[in-house]
Amino acid sequence: MRFIFTCLIFLALSCAAFAQQTAKYTIRVIDRSGNATRGSFYAAADDGLTIIRNRKDTLKLSADSISALYIHRKGIAAPLAIAGGLTFFVLAAKSDKLVESVVLIAAGVPVGVSGGILLGGLLSNKKHYKALQAKDFPLIKSNLQKYTVLK
C-alpha cells in the first residue's frame, strides 16, 4: 500500500510541475521546392518566420519561400505514455497472483505506453497551414504568435 501511495504522490507532484510549464511548439516548414525544415517555433513576422533548429542555430525563413506550416505542441505525449505504463504497473503490483502480475507487466505496460502515445498525439493541438502565399503572412501573423516563444 505504501508503494502505491508513493507512486500516486510522485505522479501528482510531477503533473503539478508539468502544468506550471509554458507550452512549447515545434514547427515543420515546407518550402516551395518540397524540403522540410523542423525546429522550435521562435517568432512570426510579416515577412517570414524564425525557428530554432535542433542544433540551437536560428534560421530565418522568408514568406516567399514557405508553402506549408505544420505546428504541434511539444512534450505532451511522453507524460501520457508514462502514465499509461504506470497504470498497468500499479495494477500488477496490486495483484496477489504472480501469474496475473507477470501478464499485466508483460502485456499491459506496452499497451498502456502505446495508448498514452496515441492519446498524446491526438491531444497535441495541431495547426496546419497549406498553400501559403507571401500575402497570407500579415493575415495569419496574429494567430501564429500564439504558438511562438516570443509573445
Provide the residue count of the chain.
151
CATH number of 22-71+129-150: 2.30.30
Nearest 5°: CA angle at 121, between 110 and 69?
Answer: 145
Task: Return the pLDDT at 18.
Answer: 59
75: left (phi over 0), alpha (psi -120 to 50) or beta: left
Statement: residue 151 has pLDDT above 60:
no
Share of the chain above pLDDT 70, in %: 87
Q: Which residue has the higher pLDDT, 147 or 115?
A: 115
The residue ranges of every structural domain in the chain are 22-71+129-150
Cell reading at 4: 502505491
Statement: residue 57 has pLDDT above 80:
yes
pTM for the whole thing?
0.60
Statement: residue 20 has pLDDT above 60:
no
User: By C-alpha distance, which of 38, 27, 62 is closest to 149?
Assistant: 27
Across the range 107-125, mean pLDDT stands at 80
pLDDT 10s digits, 34-43: 888 888 878 8
Q: Which residue has the higher pLDDT, 68 or 126?
A: 68
